[in-house]
Chains A and B, each alone.
Chain A
């Protein structure tokens, strides 16, 4: 396995612009999570996919945020009309299709700076 990859690693955008991040999970992992992490905080859950189905979204996720996983493989997270408060590290994690408890494998993250 090559691990979870995320692109781009860094993104600087102006307020009001749209941005899209990509996550490629470990192959054969059917579970995929998106998190947001700000300085001095732990990862904050945004959304969860099982295969191509988005099964859970955080209530904190505004309607400017949308995520997809169209074929159950890679996933994209789009933020529309970015705001300065969206500046954060966006982390993706994947997990294998096991029954019971499972660990998450994290990617290196995409750091977003909104100016």
Chain B
């Protein structure tokens, strides 16, 4: 079955520290991959996406993610976290095979940033 796993429910980092949020997926083929951020009371905002090509993708707000086919992972990274990055982060997969249009989201990782 297709699924997305975000193993860390909560992560706390100090401002200025580096960040890595983990995402693993199960899919029959290489899916389209996304990271979204959701601030309290807000909709989801796209941080970055991977469709094909270079496995290291750059996104907005200084985020990047690396697709590793062998590990079925698409981890999100940021070298220096800002207090405004505190939010919930969702990894998602989109369909590349015909027969479905369904996007699948992970359960999210809530990031807390200490001043």
Contacts and interface: CB of A to CB of B under 8 A. Distances in A.
Nearest to A111: B41
Contact size range, B: 20 to 34
Interface stretch (A12-20, A39-47, A62-70, A79-87): A39-47
B43 A91 contact: yes
B70 interface: no
A42 B49 contact: no
Given A33-B103, A100-B51, A101-B49, A40 B43 contact: no
Interface string B20-48: 00000000000010101000011111100
B2 to A, nearest CB: 11
Given A100-B51, A101-B96, A91 B46 contact: no
A56 B103 contact: no
A21 interface: no
Between B44, B51, B96, the greatest number of chain A beta carbons within 10 A of the residue's beta carbon is seen for: B44
B49 A44 contact: no
Interface in B84-99: 90, 92, 94, 96
Given A100-B51, A101-B49, A108-B42, A45 B94 contact: no
Interface of B: 4, 9, 32, 34, 36, 41-46, 49, 51-52, 90, 92, 94, 96, 100-108
22 contacts: A4-B43, A31-B101, A33-B103, A40-B9, A40-B107, A41-B107, A42-B4, A42-B90, A42-B106, A43-B103, A43-B105, A44-B105, A45-B102, A45-B104, A48-B101, A101-B52, A101-B94, A103-B46, A104-B103, A105-B46, A106-B43, A108-B43
